[in-house]
Structure 1
Amino acid sequence: MLRTTMANLRKFIDIGANLTDPMYQGVYNGSQKHEPDLHRVLERSWSNNISKIIITAGNIEQSKKALELAKTDDRLFSTVGCHPTRCSEFEESGDPESYLKSLTDLASENKDKIVAIGEMGLDYDRLQFCPKDTQKKYFEMQLSMCSTLNLPMFLHCRNASEDFVQILRKHKGKLTNGVVHSFDGNPEDANSILQMGLSIGINGCSLKTEDNLFAVTTIPLDRLMIETDCPWCEVRPTHAAAQHIITSFPSVKKEKWQPDHLVKGRNEPCNIVQILEILARVRDEEEEYLCNQIYKNTMKLFFPHEL
């Protein structure tokens, strides 16, 4: 009974959820498998102690869609930015400065809902979508929005730690605070991020190996945030972290969709409790205290006016 009571006092903020993804409309790889169920996904979120969700955007089109969705609920917020794998869009638009202005204007006109600049950064794991030089050029260009908008940064780094840190250090004096989400690096990578005053976001992709689990123990508690990055980055049974999960929700294959079940292989915000459970065990910290501190960290970065 005590555990249930304490659990009900928890408050989570999912700092990274791709809720505009077609999977939440029942569409997988272009094929309709079940009815749209985003409203049910959100109902499960709210009934499992999630108080806010930040919908992440990967380009100007997604930024507009994320904002439109965020406006449907007081608990939903969004980001504005261009993901590193989509930075070619700056040049494809024919006018990179105009593309940047569209992002900036969207944020400046909707500051009640847009709470971060991003997702932006570098991704060298998927260079087939956008070459390194293009990623670096438009990562730097997007960083100019920090001084204009005075919003925190929502950052992405995949297999690009050296260049990522170098660019951030180059612009350090002009940057706002921020978080490097979906962290999957080693303790040295974490330390480089922390030295710049940034926070670190953890999801299922952060917890695949024993080395990953060790790395998350090196992050100071006051710099830690959690997320799902849904519909991606679930904790899979093959992950080293899976043994530490306590809470699981019933799920079925997408072809056998049921309204009160999760879809196998499609992550949801309600699964954020699993990230907390894993962190509490590998860091040897009390679950409720950890949850409360992560919530405070997140509020301080993204919602300081509410404190």
Structure 2
Amino acid sequence: MGKKKGNNIPEQGGATEAKAAPPVKLIEIAANLTDGMFQGCYHGKQAHPPDLQAVLSRAWEAGVEKIIITGGSLEESRAALALAETDNRLYCTIGVHPTRCSEFDASGDPQQHLQSLLKLAEDGKAKGKVVAVGECGLDYDRLVFCPKEVQQKYFELQFDLAEATQLPMFLHMRAAADDFLEILKRNESRFVGGVVHSFTGACEERDAILAVPKLSIGINGCSLKTEDNLKAMAGIPPSRLMLETDSPYCDVRPTHAGHKFVGSKWAARKKEAHSGDAMVKGRNEPCAIRQVLEVVCGYRQVENVEEFARIVHDNTSSLFFPARQ
């Protein structure tokens, strides 16, 4: 496994510019579209005009059918819902990322903070826009932002949101598999299903997640960095797999082990010279979910890419859009 091999994904209009939509439908489950980079702001400095509409246009042209915008705090969740309401192909999650869980205590009333999240989720669900609770979970790689005990407490508290709304969970697990799975299994009866997104773990962690029948695994560029990453990815059944970019982060980089399978490329410029007709170098976008599909299928030597993509699409749709099945 892993030899470079044609994966039968149709051409997209040239080696440097990908334009023609593929004959597959893709659902982007993780796009941080509220990030300042899509407003042209990098590290607090304005580098170019906002270009979110151009970003979305590239996504639709690349075959993206729907985009789920990630909510990582109460404020960001509000912004995600507001953005989702601007296009019938945009949806969002409502929740608090593990590295931001200190906001519960900082609010002065953690239960009221939870109620604010719940109201936002219920209102957004009624509008058909909120499709998951999250991003929530545990991240022990970045304890400098939030202590382990605080993360655990408020990860568990967010199962209240999942139970009350009957929405699936959009989950984050980084260097915390044992505690994550312990909390999740303790609350397994309280949520309808979920996806552990941006998976970068080993085969053992993959198998532990797959042992929970209601969980799927999300793959992006960060999931395809090393040969070990690729081996772990290859063991995920397509019926338990979802695709994402986690943009503007987690792009498939030339240094990644999976990069040799990338076929689709877009013109890109440095942010200081950016115009809306090109991508920004170093900033990932939802359109690049196509590259994730190419790496996944290329490494796994998938012969029928359209059928593989259909299975992944149907799995994703059944979790986040069950009423539309």
Q: TM-score, normalised by structure 1?
A: 0.98
8 Å CA contact 1:19, 1:55 repeated in 2: yes
Residue 128 (1) aligns with residue 128 (2): no
The 2-side partners of 1:208 and 1:260 are apart by 28
Asked if 1:254 corresponds to 2:276, the answer is no
Match of 1:90 among 92, 100, 104: 104
Q: Distance in 2 between matches of 1:235 and 1:101?
A: 38
Matched, 1:168 2:168: no
Corresponding residue to 2:319 among 280, 301, 305: 301
Q: What does residue range 117-196 of structure 1 map to in structure 2 within 5 Å? A: 117-196=133-212
- 1:45 matched to 2:62: no
1:15 maps to what in 2? 29
Task: State the 1:300 CA deviation.
Answer: 0.5
Question: For the residues of structure 1 that align with 2:239 and 2:98, how far apart are their CA atoms?
Answer: 27
Aligned 8 A contact 1:179 1:200 in 2:
yes
Q: Which among 262, 276, 284 is matched to residue 245 of structure 1?
A: 262
- Cα drift, residue 175 of structure 1: 2.0
What is the CA–CA distance in structure 2 between the aligned matches of 1:282 and 1:248, rounded to whole Å?
18
> Counterpart of 1:100 in 2: which secondary structure?
helix
Q: CA deviation at 1:154?
A: 0.1
* TM-superposition CA deviations, 1:184-212 (whole Å, max 9, x none): 00111011111112000000010110000
Residue 75 (structure 1) aligned to one of 83, 89, 97: 89
2:296 is paired with a residue whose SS is helix
Aligned to 2:238: 221
Q: Which residue of 1 aligns with 2:130?
A: 114
Q: Percent identity?
A: 52
What is the distance in 2 between the residues matched to 1:221 and 1:229?
19
**Structure 2: 5+ residue runs without aligned partners?**
1-7, 13-19
1:264 aligned residue: 281
Letter aligned with residue 252 of structure 2? V
With CA pairs under 8 Å and 6+ residues apart, which has the higher RCO, 1 or 2?
2
Tell me if 1:200 matches 2:217. yes
Any runs of at least 4 consecutive aligned residues in structure 1 with deviations exceeding 4 A, and if so which? Answer: 4-7
Equivalent residue of 1:109, what SS?
helix
144-153 vs 73-82, which deviates more?
144-153
Offset at 1:3? 2.8
Unaligned runs of 5+ in 1: none
**Paired residue secondary structure (2:198):** coil
In structure 1, C-alpha distance between the alignment counterparts of 2:195 and 2:69, rounded to whole Å: 15
TM-score in terms of structure 2 length: 0.92
- Does the Cα contact within 8 Å between 1:7 and 1:288 map onto a contact in 2? no
Query: Do 2:227 and 2:257's aligned partners in 1 also have CA atoms closer than 8 Å?
Result: yes
Paired AA for residue 3 in structure 1: P
